[in-house]
Amino acid sequence: MLNRSNNKVLVLLVVVLLITNLGMLWYFTRPAKEEAKPLTRAERSAEMMRKELGFDEAQAADYLALRARRDSLLQPLNADLRQAKLALLSLLQQPGVADSTVEQAVARVAEKQAPLELAYFRHFQRVRALCLPAQHPGFDSMLVRMVRRNTGDTTAMQPPTRQ
């Protein structure tokens, strides 16, 4: 009698192990799910324009083209600005550097920054031209929020107050 109950327990364990092995076999051999590729910065920006301003597909595509154009134009300008800033920072390694030398280096940085600001302004003009007249107020307020956030204005992070 004891032998018969031992057999039942062993059969039960074999069945449990068989089911476990089949489950693991299924789990490890099933096809992998397609993972969504992460969006690029430009695509995230276009998505934000769709959500916040109501851009349609044509506007979003035009925006992506403008952004690509802007990035290609700004690349050499950013390289020049980077070199000017590195030259300014290299003055830190010189003991007793003259104020006039520092001021000249700062002036070169400012000189390299001006074309960048102009390129950004022209870019935002082109993007605003993509907007429908009803989208202009939203675009304008979004630009103000961006400038405030990028210049350290903490009020830009707070939701607007209703009056």
- Residue 76: pLDDT band (50, 70, 90) is very high
Q: Taking the CA atoms of 150, 152, 153 and 157 in sequence, report the sign of the dihedral they define.
A: positive
pTM score, whole prediction: 0.69
By CB atoms closer than 10 A (0-12, 13-18, 19+), residue 147 is exposed
Q: Would you state the torsion angle of the CA atoms of residues 149, 155, 159, 161, taken in this order, to the nearest 10 degrees?
A: -140
Q: Are 70 and 119 in contact (CB under 8 A)?
A: yes
CATH architecture entry for 41-151: Up-down Bundle (1.20)
Kindly report, residue by residue over 127-163, the tens digit of the pLDDT: 999 999 999 999 999 999 989 998 888 775 565 555 4
pLDDT of residue 153: 82
pLDDT one-digit tens code per residue, 88-138: 999 999 999 999 999 999 999 999 999 999 999 999 999 999 999 999 999
> What local confidence, expressed as pLDDT, does residue 162 receive?
52
Label residues 14-46 b or e (16+ Cβ within 10 Å = b).
eeeeeeeeeeeeeeeeeeeeeeeeeeeebeeeb
- Rounded to whole angstroms, the Cα distance separating 46 from 43 reads 5
